[in-house]
């Protein structure tokens, strides 16, 4: 018996020393649970108004999200698999016949008794590798892609794509191609995106980027089912035959004493067509500008930021005899009827206006899933401008807090009818406190208030009873437990 154990140990040692080096595995992610109390509710990304009314009760629910990312391989090649599980506590399961009003479990569901729903989502599945004998690297597969413009065009948008990166000091170059929709017919009827970027850092305190994006959408030319802008209010109420958009732009950041100044600008030009009693084409001429300052202020940090996204009045864009379309086309326009939120501006930390750190319910005014005004910051062609400021401070090694204030308004009016002429979207104020329980584990308390403007509350409301008018004062209270690993 003893000889057998010695022999077994010897064999194990021989195998261990003779086997090639095994690939290493890195596992990262987070678990997050939030208990919410709010009177803000928008049912879907296509809703024309909020459905929360003055006599409605506040909603109370608990939502959770877990993401786990597997990164495995060697120094020259790695495979990445990124998964997510979402649910609201008590909402739907696959335990036989579901409760009335709960039609079985699907995406973001499975939190009811006997929860066993198949709702695991694939966020990313791609390979990273070094190109031999060069300083180039490449990523190939389904991956999250963000733009150089704080998420206004694309923010963690999942797309099947190929990117090549080169570090040629002091410049970083990125070239990429993505297939957004494939219609599987033998003609030009897909949606593709091309990207070229050069980020130049002449010093450690300065970065200047020059970027070019090309969005080529031919999904309407054939009988395919690609999404694009077809049928959306963003480029008319008719199915488009093609959208061809070119987008040059710049971004920059620089340290100026105690302040960091950053910003960006881009311009879109191109052509599009739609079906409206025949084929009708029109030009796209749009732009966006942003400027931000971050400043160390005493024991804390202060920021102020503003952006402007071009647009015009809805009544200037009739289905016939169309003038130029003056609001940017973004990947937030590409939802395929689902709540994908491919765009997302979050760095001013607005919970109501832009959906900072939303999870399953993902309710906000614009730019997140199930938003009241849509997921594209083009704001259905009406454009958008926003100003915000905030202050954050670390009080102890364990406790920190912040306060943020922001205002948003449309650039153009929705129409000339009564109540439609107002452009104000809303003024938001929010506070937050974070306490670190232990390494990676934090508890937060969050409160936010939105004074909604007529552009948000009046459009689409057809009621006559004063009690049915949408609420103007919205609030949200949340407690949040987050574990990062």
pLDDT bracket for residue 457 (50, 70, 90): confident
Q: Enter the tokens of residue 103.
A: 């039609």
What does the mean pLDDT of the chain come to?
81
Q: In terms of Cα–Cα distance, which of 93, 96, 124 is closest to 106?
A: 93
pLDDT (average), residues 456-465: 58
Residue 102 — pLDDT band, cuts 50, 70, 90? Answer: very low
- Cα–Cα distance between 311 and 266 in angstroms, integer? 14
pLDDT tens digits, 468-481: 567 788 999 999 99
Q: Does the structure show a pLDDT above 80 at 226?
A: no
For 321-351, what is each residue's pLDDT tens digit? 456 788 898 988 876 555 567 889 999 999 9
- Checking if the pLDDT of 291 tops 60, the result is yes
- pLDDT for position 94: 55
Q: Indicate if the pLDDT at residue 285 is higher than 70.
A: yes
User: What would the pLDDT profile of 163-220 be if each residue is shown by its tens digit?
Assistant: 999 999 899 999 999 998 887 666 677 889 999 999 999 998 999 999 999 999 887 6
Q: Which two tokens stand for residue 94?
A: 């696959």
User: What does the domain layout of the chain look like in residue ranges?
Assistant: 32-64+344-485
The listed range with the strongest mean pLDDT (5-19, 172-186, 237-251, 387-401) is: 387-401
The angle subtended at Cα 331 by Cα 66 and Cα 384, nearest 5°, is 105
Omega within 30 of 0 (cis) for the link into 170: yes
Pairwise CA distance, residues 329 & 244, whole Å: 10
Residue 192 bridge partners (DSSP)? 179, 216
Query: Quick one: average pLDDT of 227-237?
Result: 40
What is the reported pLDDT for 223?
45
**Burial category of 150 from C-beta neighbours within 10 Å (exposed 0-12, middle 13-18, buried 19 and up):** buried
Q: Assess whether pLDDT exceeds 50 at residue 78.
A: yes
pLDDT for residue 117:
61
**Mean pLDDT for the stretch of residues 261-288:** 81
pLDDT (0 to 100) of residue 277: 43
Segment 50-75, tens digit of pLDDT: 666 666 778 888 989 999 999 999 99
Judge contact between 177 and 164, C-beta under 8 A.
Answer: no
pLDDT at 18 over 50: no
Q: What does the pLDDT look like over 90-100, one tens digit per residue?
A: 876 654 444 44
Q: What percent of the chain has pLDDT over 90?
A: 49
What are the distances in angstroms from CA 257 to CA 190, 261, 295, 393?
Answer: 49, 10, 9, 20
Q: What is the SS3 assignment for the chain? A: CHHHHHHHHHHHHHHHHHCCCCCEEEEEEEEEEEEEEECCCCCCCCCCCCCCECCCCCEEEEEEEEEEEEEEECCCEEEEEEEEEEEECCCCCCCCCCCCCCCCCCCCCCCCCCCCCCCCEEEEEEEEEECCCCCEEEEEEEEEECCCCCCCCCCCEEEEEEEEEEEECCEEEEEEEEEEECCCCCCCCCEEEEEEEEEEEEECCEEEEEEEEEEEECHHHCCCCCCCCCCCCECECCCEEEEEEEEEEEEEEEEECCEEEEEEEEEEEEEEEEECCCEEEEEEEEEEEEEEEEEEECCEEEEEEEEEECCCCHHHCCCCCCCCECCCCCHHHCCCCCCCCCCCCCCCCCCCCCCCCCCCCCCCCCCCCCCCCCCCCCHHHCCEEEEEEEEEEECCCCEEEEEEEEEEECCCCCCCCCCCCCCEEEEEEEEEEEEEEECCEEEEEEEEEEEECHHHHCCCCCCCCHHHCECCEEEEEEEEEEEEC
In this predicted structure, the answer to whether residue 459 has a pLDDT above a threshold of 70 is no
The pLDDT assigned to 243 comes to 83
The answer to whether residue 359 scores a pLDDT higher than 90 is no
Residues of 326-361 as b/e, b for ≥16 C-beta within 10 angstroms?
bbbbbbbbbbeeebbbbbbbbbbbbbbbbbbebbbb
Side-chain-facing half-sphere of 350: CA atoms under 13 Å: 27
219 backbone dihedrals φ, ψ, rounded to 5°: -65, -25
* pLDDT reading at 221 higher than 80: no
Categorize the per-residue pLDDT at 42 as very low, low, confident or very high, splitting at 50, 70 and 90.
low
Distance (Å, whole) CA 49 – CA 461 = 7
């Amino acid at each position: 018996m003893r000889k057998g154990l010695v022999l077994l140990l010897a064999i194990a040692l021989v195998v261990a020393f003779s086997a090639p080096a095994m690939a290493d595995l890195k596992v990262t992610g987070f678990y997050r649970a939030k208990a919410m109390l709010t009177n803000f509710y928008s049912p879907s990304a296509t809703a024309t108004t909020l459905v929360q009314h003055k006599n409605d009760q506040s909603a109370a629910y608990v939502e959770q999200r877990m993401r786990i990312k597997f990164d495995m391989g060697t120094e020259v090649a790695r495979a990445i698999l990124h998964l997510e599980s979402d649910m609201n506590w008590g909402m739907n399961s696959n335990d036989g016949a579901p409760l009335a009003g709960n039609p079985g479990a699907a995406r973001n569901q499975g939190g009811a008794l006997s929860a066993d729903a198949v709702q695991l989502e694939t966020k990313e599945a791609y390979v990273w590798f070094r190109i031999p004998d060069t300083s180039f690297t490449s990523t190939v597969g389904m991956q999250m892609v963000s733009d150089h413009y704080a998420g206004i065009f694309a923010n963690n948008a999942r797309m099947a794509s190929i990117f090549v990166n080169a570090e040629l000091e002091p410049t970083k170059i990125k070239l990429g191609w993505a297939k957004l929709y494939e219609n599987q017919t033998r003609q030009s009827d897909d949606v593709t995106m091309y990207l070229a970027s050069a980020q130049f850092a002449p010093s450690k305190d300065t970065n200047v980027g020059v970027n070019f994006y090309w969005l080529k959408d031919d999904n309407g030319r054939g009988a395919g089912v690609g999404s694009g802008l077809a049928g959306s209010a963003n480029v008319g109420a008719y199915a488009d035959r093609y959208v061809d958009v070119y987008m040059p732009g710049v971004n920059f950041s620089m340290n100026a004493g105690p302040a960091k100044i950053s910003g960006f600008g881009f311009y879109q030009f191109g052509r599009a067509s739609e079906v409206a009693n025949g084929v009708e084409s029109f030009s796209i001429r749009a732009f966006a500008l942003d400027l931000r300052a971050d400043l160390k202020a005493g024991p804390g940090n202060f920021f102020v930021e503003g952006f402007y996204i071009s647009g015009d009045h809805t009544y200037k864009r009739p289905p016939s005899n169309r003038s130029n379309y003056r609001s940017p086309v973004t990947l937030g326009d590409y939802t395929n009827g689902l709540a994908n939120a491919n765009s997302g501006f979050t760095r001013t930390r607005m919970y109501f206006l832009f959906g900072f750190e939303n999870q399953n319910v993902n309710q906000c005014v614009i730019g997140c899933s199930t938003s009241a005004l849509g997921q594209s910051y083009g704001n259905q062609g009406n454009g958008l401008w926003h100003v915000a400021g905030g202050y954050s401070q670390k009080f102890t090694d364990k406790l920190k807090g912040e306060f943020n204030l922001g205002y948003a308004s449309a650039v153009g009016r929705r129409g000339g009818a009564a109540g439609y002429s107002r452009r104000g979207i809303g003024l938001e104020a929010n506070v937050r406190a974070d306490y670190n329980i232990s390494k990676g584990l934090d508890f937060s308390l969050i409160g936010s208030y939105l004074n909604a403007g007529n552009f948000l509350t009046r459009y689409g409301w057809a009621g006559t009873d004063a009690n049915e008018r949408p609420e103007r004062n919205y609030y949200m209270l949340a407690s949040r437990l987050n574990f990062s690993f």
